[in-house]
Amino acid sequence: MPTICNSHTVPVIESALEEAINEWHASVNTGDLRRSAQAVGDPIVVLGPKGAGPITPTQFAEWVERSGITLTPHSWHPVSEGLMVVEQQATWQESTNPIPVATVFRASGGKVTAALRLPTLQAALDMAYICRGMAATE
């Protein structure tokens, strides 16, 4: 999708991280279980209100089906080459109003390898900077 800048059309060049996150959102939001399993690494590390830890792509697809969640990206916050926080509006089948959440994403090889969902943008940014700091000191 082009961006208009000073009356010139400039192509938007997405990073591999952004492409993986976009595919993750598309697969989750359409409820496509096969596509969801293909959009994530093996394992994918998850964090959410019902638990945390590594799960398989099949388990991730099962979660997509079970949760019925839709996560509409609202704002993107790059943390490093491999980490991005995305603020989202979450809805579920029984939802009447969207709820703001934010997810820390990590990707490798064109697949999302971590999706850590937190209740606020600030909490997600804090988590992402901790993760970045830990990776830098390995």
Query: Within a domain: residue 3?
Result: no
Measure CA 123 to chain center.
15
- Kindly report the CATH number assigned to the domain that includes residue 56: 3.10.450.50
Query: Within a domain: residue 58?
Result: yes
pLDDT over 70 (residue 10): no
The number of domains in the chain is 1
Query: Within a domain: residue 120?
Result: yes
Domain of 112 in residue numbering reads as 9-136
Between strands 111-118 and 40-48, the pairing is parallel
Query: Within a domain: residue 72?
Result: yes
Query: Within a domain: residue 90?
Result: yes
**Contact status, residue 111 vs residue 41, Cβ threshold 8 Å:** yes
The stretch 17-27 carries a mean pLDDT of 97
pLDDT over 80 (residue 131): yes
Query: Within a domain: residue 53?
Result: yes
pLDDT over 80 (residue 6): no
What token pair was written down for 51? 């638990």
User: What would the pLDDT profile of 72-126 be if each residue is shown by its tens digit?
Assistant: 999 999 999 899 999 999 999 888 899 999 999 999 999 999 999 999 999 999 9
Cα–Cα distance for residue pair 51/115, rounded to 1 Å = 12
Cα–Cα distance for residue pair 77/62, rounded to 1 Å = 28
Query: Could you tell me which of 120, 111, 134 has the C-alpha nearest to residue 49?
Result: 120
